[in-house]
Amino acid sequence: MKKRYLLLLSPLIFLAGCSTTPEQCDPTNTNIGIMDKISCNYSGNYQARIDQKKQILENEVRANQQFKEIYATIEKQKNATSLSIKQKQAQQQKLKTDLTKLTNEVKQKAKGRDDLQAQVKDIEQQLNKVNNSNSSELEKQVELEKLNKKLQQLQKALNI
């Protein structure tokens, strides 16, 4: 009689065990019953879980590679920008040096002419003001260009 009940209940037990999902078949879950473990193994849910985790890992590896590429691109741009800033600073320093030389040359040529001496003195003051200001490099560059144009006009007036 007991065998008969056991035979009748065994399909129900196997059907209950087959109803597990890959999420329920977590190998770290210690609260799962023996029938559920057997069901996970034979139904392929363990393998489905492994495949799912592999897919997640592959996606994460691809995302990581993309982030590395983006980071490398940002580093290249940063280095290019740094080089560009250094070039602009060198260009600005050259402009300052040229302006100083030109100012001294115009000052020498304008001796004896008080109106031109006053203009040269005004340009020198503006040059010192630009050099000592806390404005941005771009603003300084614009001001230095303006001063350069003024000096060139003075140079033309003196026929240098």
For residues 86 and 94, the answer to whether their CB atoms sit within 8 Å is no
pLDDT for res 9? 59
For the chain, the structural domain boundaries read 44-158
Model confidence pLDDT, tens digit, residues 109-155: 777 777 777 777 887 888 788 777 777 777 877 887 887 788 777 77
Model confidence pLDDT, tens digit, residues 62-121: 999 999 999 888 888 888 777 777 887 788 788 778 778 877 877 777 777 777 777 778
Q: 55 falls in which pLDDT band (50, 70, 90)?
A: very high
Q: 17 falls in which pLDDT band (50, 70, 90)?
A: very low
